[in-house]
Structure 1
């Protein structure tokens, strides 16, 4: 095994990339590539662990006898297999690890997760919100703050970003809500800087079994026909097996709307990298001016809030 080539393959990974263990599917990052070992960090726990050169040699020697089924690997060996698949000498199809029958291209591994795909839910929301803010800032600066004034491509990008921010923030909101419910007692409120939340209970009723409902009606002398209605599921079956037309039994109202059918995550991530590079190019003097201006704005806002509160 060419240890130096393997280290070079690890070092050439795109910043932010992750590897995933083939069985337990634990994501980890390569933190350092040293002379005698690699240092990895698992994303889920933050645990750092060394992967020693001699252990890679042992695994590579075993591959001389033929492919190794990845499903049979012990958990401690999984990271070695994922990293070894980066080598041009070895190849993984996601099911087995083996010596490459021909010279392969280093870095082509099914166990690599690209930087854009490796982001957490919070990071994705942050990135989409950053892109949306930049897009809105550009439109406002160009005096095009009304959707009707935008060209089709720009309007499409705006719609996609708005949709992604809404979808991503809704997912995070649900997760945050579930966690808050564990901390909220009955009639309790929790206060943050931006607002207040409380536990709310809402009854969602579903009919009991038909026999139970009808028996309850009989006990109170209520005619069955008062509650019996048309079952749409049964109607759909009838429509599927007969020549009955849908408009004979349904009031059909057609709704036309825009549906997002695709997102170019690579283009979005490339744009984010461009924004990051622009921020890095701001010199210290300009950054100081920005910070001072921001500080003045915040101080002014704080003073106005205090005045409003005291007046109230």
Structure 2
């Protein structure tokens, strides 16, 4: 089938898009919308705060992508795209014969029905808030308790706080850190399957990218020594002190630990126990306050939330040096 036929089919699909339909790029996962459809190009508008631009997508570039896809039986690998070409496969996926497989990292041509990179439309406005539910996560409960503690105690003047208040804050910080790290690893495991070849993926609050870490461990000791000896390295040059064997020797001799190790002691605070019952009681009280706020003082709470969102927005928005100093 000539490209001109596929191109006009795609333009028809774009013309039929509901107003406000949002697309997402397959690699960087940036959201954008179609603002104009022309014979030789498609105009898009990115919705991300850090990509405030309107960009034309040219017909000849779509044709190049089309020909590469149709020549590859298993689909065209998305990581072979130039960094600024991420929107092209997202738009092309609206064509009834082209589909993006993010798990495989390819865009393929199919005979049957396909899915697209379309996210939503104005049938579900972005401003509509979904009903908030309480996640069944330890980090959520601990974070709620920590927020409550931080609101009740001025941590900008720690020396003035009572010891029991500092103990509570430290305990909650420790619990949030542990549980947040566990959840962070779970999220990372899922993200790992969606990131491709060190391409950063951006979200409203930051970006992540796939990296490679090398971990080394020696092979069998005798195998290592024989390999190095064969290369002309005397085994005495690489033999050293094994700490585990030294510790074993200390246990069966009268040699003092200080005769073997240089010892430096430092003191630190470690969480010794957690009063889970007290935490549950306080947490339930906070939940009851939030539930009651729907009836009493709801307007005041909404204003506080809007205030907080504005402050968060200011902290996470990019400002130039000139703006900061002004």
Work out whether 1:255 is the aligned partner of 2:266.
yes
- Cα distance in 1, alignment partners of residues 222 and 249 from structure 2: 24
Aligned residue number for residue 182 of structure 1: 193
Aligned residue number for residue 147 of structure 2: 133
**TM-score calculated relative to the size of structure 1:** 0.54
Structure 1 contact 122–172 (Cα < 8 Å) conserved = no
Aligned residue number for residue 173 of structure 2: 162
Instruction: State the aligned residue count.
Output: 189
Structure 1 contact 217–224 (Cα < 8 Å) conserved = yes
Deviations 1:270-300 (Å, cap 9, x if unpaired)?
A: 0011112222333646212332454466569
- 1:145 aligned to which of 147, 152, 156: 156
Structure 2 contact 200–209 (Cα < 8 Å) conserved = yes
- Cα distance in 2, alignment partners of residues 294 and 132 from structure 1: 17
Aligned residue number for residue 43 of structure 1: none
Deviations 1:144-186 (Å, cap 9, x if unpaired)?
A: 6322222221111111011001011011111111111122222
Structure 1 contact 189–199 (Cα < 8 Å) conserved = yes
Residue ranges of structure 2 left out of the alignment (5+ in a row): 1-133
Structure with a larger share of its residues in helix: 1
SS in 2 for 1:183: coil
- Cα distance in 2, alignment partners of residues 296 and 145 from structure 1: 21
Structure 1 contact 184–198 (Cα < 8 Å) conserved = yes
SS in 1 for 2:233: coil
Instruction: Tell me how far 1:256 sits from its aligned partner.
Output: 1.8
The higher-RCO structure (CA 8 Å, 6+ apart) is: 2
Per the alignment, do residues 121 and 240 of structure 1 end up closer, same or farther by CA in structure 2, a change over 3 Å counting? Answer: farther
Deviations 1:188-228 (Å, cap 9, x if unpaired)?
A: 33222211111111111111111221122112212222211
Aligned residue number for residue 201 of structure 1: 212
- Cα distance in 1, alignment partners of residues 317 and 250 from structure 2: 66
Q: CA RMSD in A?
A: 3.0
- Cα distance in 2, alignment partners of residues 283 and 156 from structure 1: 32
- 2:243 aligned to which of 232, 237, 253: 232
- Cα distance in 1, alignment partners of residues 232 and 172 from structure 2: 58
Q: Kindly report which structure 2 residues correspond to 1:278-289, keeping only aligned pairs within 5 A, or say none.
A: 278-282=289-293, 284=295, 286-289=297-300
Structure 2 contact 195–210 (Cα < 8 Å) conserved = yes
Deviations 1:48-86 (Å, cap 9, x if unpaired)?
A: xxxxxxxxxxxxxxxxxxxxxxxxxxxxxxxxxxxxxxx
